[in-house]
Structure 1
Amino acid sequence: MDHDTNTPEPSSPRRGGPSTSGSGVEAPGTPASAGTTTAGVDATRWLAASSLIGLIVLSVLWELWLAPLRPGGSWWVIKALPLCIPLAGLLRRRMYTYRWVSLLVWFYFIEGVVRAYSDRGMSAALAGIEIVLCLALFTACVMHVWLRLGPRKKVAA
C-alpha cells in the first residue's frame, strides 16, 4: 500500500506522537526526552515561584522591621506589590508571565546593587540577598521559557 509522502506517520512529532523514529533513537531536531524536559520545566517553575516569594518576603521584612529607611517602617514596602501580581501566572505556567517577569526583576536587581554599594550593615547584607534572589528568578524564568520552546533552528541565509 502506498503512503502519501506529505502525510506524517502516526508516530511523527507533528501529530503529537513519540519523537522517536521507531528505533528508540530520537529524531533529529526534537527536544531531549519528554521526562527530562518535564522535570526541568517543573524545577524551573518552582525555583521561579520560590525566588519570587522570597523577594516578596524580603521586601516586606526589610522595609518594615529589619532595616527600614526610617525608624518604624518605610513606605518603600510598597515595592513588594508589583511582585505579587505575577505569582499566579508563574504557578499556572503562563509563558507570557515568565517573559515579562524576566524583565521586571532587573529593577529589583538594580536596587539591590545600589543599596549593597551605598548602604552599610544589615541593609547591605539584605541587598546581597536581594541580588541573589533576582539572579535566581531571572535564570529560572529564562530556563523555563527555553525548555518549553526548545532551541530555535537557525535559518540558512
Structure 2
Amino acid sequence: MSKSGFYYGLALCGHLGLLGLLIIWNVWLYPPTIFPVAIVLLVYIGPLLIPLRGLLHGRLYTHAWTHFLALFYFTVGVMIAAANLEERWYAIAQVVLSIMLFMGSMLFVRYRARENKTLH
C-alpha cells in the first residue's frame, strides 16, 4: 500500500467515524433539549455531508479543503470536553476523529500530488 493510500484510508475513517459518532451522540445518547434534533443534525452534521462524494472518489481538491472543515469539529470537541463532564469521552472521540480527518486529508493531498508528479 502506498503512503497516499494509507492516508486516504485514515481520512475516510476519520470522516465516516465522525459522521457516525455525531449521529449516535446527538440522536440516541444525548439528544438536544433546547433545539429540535433535526435542526441540530442539519447544522452539526450537514457540513460533513458536503464533501462526502469527493472524499469517497479520492478527489484532491475535496481533500484539500476538507481538512479545514475538520478544524471546526476539533474546536467544538475541545470546548465540549472542557465544559461538559457527562459528554467528555464522546467529545474526546470527536477530537481524535477530527485529527484523523485533518491529518489524513492533508497528507493524502501531499503524497498523491507527489505520486502524480512522478508518473507524468
TM-score past 0.5 threshold: yes
One-letter amino acid matched to 2:16: I
Percent identical among aligned pairs is 32
Which residue of 4, 8, 21 maps to 1:58? Answer: 21
Name the TM-score, length of structure 1 as normaliser. 0.65
The two structures, once aligned, show a CA RMSD in angstroms of 1.6
Rg larger for = 1
Q: Do the aligned partners of 1:45 and 1:91 also contact (CA within 8 Å) in 2?
A: no
Deviations 1:41-83 (A, max 9, x none): 1111111112111111111111111122329x73322211210
Q: Which has the higher helix share?
A: 2
CA distance in 2, matches of 1:111, 1:147: 29
Deviation at 1:149, TM superposition (A): 2.3
Which residue of 143, 148, 151 maps to 2:107? Answer: 143
Which aligned segments of 4 or more residues in structure 1 are displaced greater than 2 angstroms? none
Structure 2 stretches lacking a partner, 5+ long: 115-120
Structure 1 stretches lacking a partner, 5+ long: 1-37, 151-157
CA distance in 2, matches of 1:49, 1:82: 15
TM alignment of 1:1-157, pairs within 5 A: 39-70=2-33, 74=37, 75-78=39-42, 79-121=44-86, 123-150=87-114
One-letter amino acid matched to 1:99: A
- Count of residue pairs brought into register by the alignment: 111
CA distance in 2, matches of 1:113, 1:129: 10
